A and B are shown apart, each in its own frame.
Chain A
């Protein structure tokens, strides 16, 4: 086990027990977050990316349950920890920020109280020391007039400021891993850029590893070192970020990329992947994407492709590569 990796998830499977059977929200997912790196998980809503994050925090709610796998955090399996040990890790060594800064802060307490609380749970400090650290972290996350702002209630702050508060709260114990679940989805584009820059800055200063969950390929390109593309609970493609953008090989990832608007490419209509995310209860026996894949063959419906390495560090879960497929299509045409 190398200390070089902050987080290693191995064959994680998280299921929801429903009346009509079990539904695997996370299915045999393995991923690695190296120390000080930003790793992205992309996919449409419902692909299991948030559930992967919640599994790491062990905040999966009933009727969900982590069924099998390992979650190695700095070499130790979190799934073997007692609830008490896990509680000490949450917020201290691993912290998390969420999509909705509007509703993720408790409306009846001042933000200062909530930020100090995050510190107080894990470190025994005097009142003055708590306050000093809160001011410090507010300044670090770029909140002006920190002293004054600490006394504000969440509803008195803008969305961007609230997300800064959330980040401050998550970073105040200087965690090894920050999980950011769609941190900028609810924000304006300009604010989004600021928040992303802030996260990068904090990573550079503290060496924090970040697991960034998003549906936005643009954010991935800006932020990540490594990317995992998830679909219907499984990893479909994984690679280092430049490799992925230069050399997309899974048809699903290709679809995701085509659906971002580009300045250099004038099109009449933006591409959308046809169909919708399938119901996890009625997944096809084969590849989860086959119902929406324009290259799907009979084999894809019957047999699940394994993740295979097609270039150093670049894995895809598909029988063919995109090059082969698009080549084939051209020859057909």
Chain B
């Protein structure tokens, strides 16, 4: 078991290095000096040169990469051009907001997605099934930013139940969490449904009925745990979709999280900040996949042993 986990961690390392390399290359192949681009024609050449030297931009590209990698190994993501603060501290400030939003949204998506999937499977091909699946597909097909605006209009502006935007109180998180959660609830509901339907065909489910278990007992105790395994993998992939979705949700609801940071970095052409946020998010996603793999093998005794 421990060996398997270590193995799995080791496999992630090349992926991580590849991710960092690709981001670095993509952001650094833009011709021209980024400082020059940022400052446009307002600055004098000697100022640009000084600032470039300060950020190490006068060195050859491969040397810059090595320096970046060396710093990264020490957990240093560099300094923002625009804000002149370390990217680390910017991310540290922003991350709690994104984390709160992502956790709240994940909870919303499970609370909607898993029961909807179970009910659809139990009532397969009935009106209940169609309603839930239609609702899920609606969530999947809905542009997040648009749903955010509609919710803002109805619940914050018209009904005034919750704040329009910001992140000052816990109430501010309600709308963004629902918007973001609903969009991934659809995927979870569909996956739960199809897995449960598959598992309900298994012989051991027949055994469970024959034992005299109630419907709730059969489904929650015997079918659900087996059906849940792929859903857990799904939840890891969900980390990615929640973090992607957070970019939009944070923008619409003016939450100062990682997503906002990335959008601002693009607007300001702040390369180190964009690079830092993307690398940080990708590390989170790789970690999420890792945790899902480990969880999967903890739950399934057949995998645990191999």
Contacts and interface: CB of A to CB of B under 8 A. Distances in A.
Interface of A: 57, 59, 87-92, 95-96, 98, 100, 103-109, 117-118, 121-122, 153, 155-156, 166, 169-170
Interface string B192-205: 00000000001110
B211 A95 contact: yes
B222 A106 contact: yes
B195 to A, nearest CB: 13
A108 B301 contact: yes
Contacts of A89: 212
A276 to B, nearest CB: 26
Given A107-B226, A108-B299, A108-B301, A91 B204 contact: no
Interface residues of B, number: 22
Contact of B210 (A96, A100, A153): A96
A105 B210 CA distance: 12
Contacts of B213: 87, 91, 117, 121
B209 interface: yes
B300 A57 contact: no
B208 interface: yes
B203 A104 contact: yes
B207 interface: yes
A87 B214 contact: yes
A130 to B, nearest CB: 14
Contacts of B221: 117
Contacts, number: 71
B217 interface: yes
Given A103-B203, A104-B207, A155-B301, A122 B212 contact: yes
A98 B209 CA distance: 12
Given A88-B212, A92-B212, A108 B207 contact: no
Given A87-B213, A95-B211, 11 more contacts: A59-B209, A87-B212, A89-B212, A91-B211, A103-B203, A104-B203, A107-B301, A108-B300, A108-B301, A117-B221, A121-B212
B80 to A, nearest CB: 49
B126 to A, nearest CB: 11
Given A90-B212, A91-B211, A104 B301 contact: no
